Amino acid sequence: MALLPFLDRSRTIAAPGFSRWMVPPAALCIHLCIGQAYAFSVFNLPMTKLIGVTASAPGDWNLAELGWIFSIAIFVLGVSAAIFGRWVEEGGPRQAMFTAGLCWALGFFISAIGVYIHNLWVVYLGYGVFGGLGLGLGYISPVSTLIKWFPDRPGMSTGMAIMGFGGGAFIASPLSVWLMAHFSTPTHVGVAEAFIGLGIIYLIFMWVGAAIVRVPAPGWKPEGYTPPVVDQPLITKNDVYVYDAIKTPQFWLIWWVLCLNVTAGIGVLGQASAMSQEMFPGKVTALAAAGFVGLLSLFNMLGRFFWASLSDYIGRKNTYFCFFAIGTVLYCTVPWSGSIGSVTLFVLAFLVIITMYGGGFATVPAYLKDMFGTRYVGAIHGWLITAWSAAGVFGPVLVNYIRQYQIDSGVPKAQAYNVTMYIMAGLLVVGFICNFLIKAVHNRFHMKPDHEAVRAQMAVDAAGEPAGA
Amino acid sequence: MANENQSGSNVIPLILAWGFVGIPLAWGVIQTIENAMKLFQ
């Protein structure tokens, strides 16, 4: 039983007449809010001028110190998704979404206090720890619910939600800038007030999502849907318990598949502006580079929906084969585009690459569902998110350090990224091999009848007190 | 058990729910495209 009865899983079972198309907007309410994390950098410069206002003054925070806020949040995201995944799965989506909203908003409110008293440790605690908890819980909370509502289109449904995470920055970035401008005065930078404003808006948005979300009644199927009768070796009809799933080679192969795909993309996302200007000096201005970064974010979001939806038709394994094969070719194309001075080819290559970066995130929940069943897919997804945290370290380090090493070795800036691109292509080849090695999970890992009996009892208990739609 | 009444029976909540998330997202996407296009001109 949840602390508040309204949050209990049994109170979220959909009544007859409830449309399953209400669930994706509920999931988007969460992901559009936590996607703000991608836009946190808009606060970086203003937070270096909290004392000096027009310019940094002695005692003001510097960018290196501020960079830890995002890093702590992403670290806590991975840890909390892994630790609380089972609680999210068994407690139901409403409880998880409600808690995620509370943590996310608290993160902003505590950070506002930190900014107000100018104590960076309080901001680390606020956005880093509480915000990171909100990120972790919010990211995985709607996944298994969507898969259960859309057994016929699991890729599309989870892709839609995870697309929201990519799209959250589009809303957060202009909204944050507007809020800061609104609350700033000639003697004050309005960061704390902007944090409070965002916290209130996100709390309302995420709690609306928690109120809307429903789980299907036991045995529910979409109208006209009949599960495939022909056995597909890579789509299981059994469930695997979360702590058994992480003992399988399949889990760790998918972990590397995600980690390598994200590593290749994340380094580029972080360095896109500098890379485009340095590879095409005189041709790509700082303003044009900023536009390029905006387009990358847009294609990152669109790729999440496109590739995850496509995976429902061509299969998850084939979708990742596309990412790794096409990605390898495109990464090898980038140095060539620099050598012939083709900005168009460079931009097109990276736009396609970044769709596959987003697509990798969005397709993986359905891949896990295919391999391990639906029962604990959210919790297993939580463990897999640690691959993202690892890639968040590998990707930028690879791009930044290799570039610096090249420049220190006397390589012109325009060619300093070439080796990195070939290394990224190599990582994708390794990812291709990992994906190739993924086979069906051995039946010794499947949940046994005693697990089934517990599940059946839970379903009976849950069905005893259905809620209104 | 297939629930035959799960879709199409109540359109207004659907429109409200999708509008609640779709309008802010569309606004953000338009802002981004406008900025990107201006910068490339």
Which of A189, A222, A255 represents a domain boundary (last residue)? A222
Mean pLDDT of chain B: 77
Rounded CA separation A106/A421 (Å): 40
Q: Which pLDDT tens digit goes with each residue over A173-197? A: 889 989 999 999 999 999 999 999 9
Residue A176 and residue A31 in one domain: yes
Q: Is there a domain that residue A377 lies in?
A: yes
Residue A128 and residue A46 in one domain: yes
Taking CA–CA distances from A297, the nearest residue in chain B reads B32
Q: Which residues of B touch A287 (CB under 8 A)?
A: 39
Residue A300 and residue A415 in one domain: yes
pLDDT at B6: 46
Residue A213 and residue A287 in one domain: no
Residue A290 and residue A430 in one domain: yes
ipTM above 0.90, yes or no: no
Among B7, B31, B35, whose Cβ lies nearest the Cβ of A20?
A: B7
Q: Is there a domain that residue A137 lies in?
A: yes
Q: Is there a domain that residue A455 lies in?
A: no
| Residue keyed to tokens 């506002």 | A112
Q: Which pLDDT tens digit goes with each residue over A299-347? A: 999 999 999 999 999 999 999 999 999 999 999 999 999 889 899 999 9
Which of A160, A193, A222 represents a domain boundary (last residue)? A222
Residue A291 reports pLDDT greater than 60: yes
Average pLDDT over residues A446-467: 56
Residue A361 reports pLDDT greater than 90: yes
Residue A203 and residue A256 in one domain: no
Among B4, B31, B38, whose Cβ lies nearest the Cβ of A174?
A: B31
pLDDT at A227: 75
Q: Is there a domain that residue A1 lies in?
A: no
Residue A431 and residue A283 in one domain: yes
**Residue A439: how many CB atoms within 10 A of its CB?**
13
Task: Tell me the whole-structure pTM to 2 decimals.
Answer: 0.84
More confident residue, A315 or A404: A315
Residue of A151, A128, A132, A159 whose CA lies nearest to A66: A128
CB pairs A-B closer than 8 Å: 104
Residue A109 reports pLDDT greater than 50: yes
Residue A216 and residue A290 in one domain: no
pLDDT at A132: 95
By CB atoms closer than 10 A (0-12, 13-18, 19+), residue A181 is exposed
Q: Is there a domain that residue A76 lies in?
A: yes
Domains of chain A: total? 2
B12 touches chain A (CB under 8 A): no
Residue A308 and residue A394 in one domain: yes
Residue A210 and residue A292 in one domain: no
Taking CA–CA distances from B25, the nearest residue in chain A reads A171
Q: Is there a domain that residue A283 lies in?
A: yes
DSSP for A216-260, please give it. Answer: PPTT-B-TT----SS--TTS-SS-B-HHHHTTSHHHHHHHHHHHH
Residue A469 reports pLDDT greater than 50: no
Average pLDDT over residues A234-239: 81
Distance from CA of B33 to the nearest CA of A (A): 7
Q: Which pLDDT tens digit goes with each residue over A2-15? A: 567 888 888 899 98
Full domain range(s) for residue A17: 7-222
The CATH code of the domain that includes A84 is 1.20.1250.20
pLDDT at A466: 37
Query: What are the structure tokens assigned to A131, written together?
Result: 């915000």
Specify the 3-state DSSP secondary structure of A184. Answer: coil
Residue A139 and residue A28 in one domain: yes
A173 touches chain B (CB under 8 A): yes
Taking CA–CA distances from B36, the nearest residue in chain A reads A291
Residue A179 and residue A97 in one domain: yes
Q: Is there a domain that residue A157 lies in?
A: yes
pLDDT at A316: 95
pLDDT at A174: 87
| Residue keyed to tokens 């396609």 | A352
Taking CA–CA distances from A298, the nearest residue in chain B reads B29
pLDDT band at B37 (very low <50, low <70, confident <90, very high): confident
| Residues above pLDDT 90, as percent of chain A | 52
Q: Supply φ then ψ for residue A221, to 5 degrees.
A: -135, 150
pLDDT at B23: 95
Mean pLDDT of chain A: 88
pLDDT band at B5 (very low <50, low <70, confident <90, very high): very low
Distance from CA of A180 to the nearest CA of B (A): 17
Q: Which pLDDT tens digit goes with each residue over A364-391? A: 999 999 999 988 898 899 999 899 888 8
Q: Is there a domain that residue A396 lies in?
A: yes
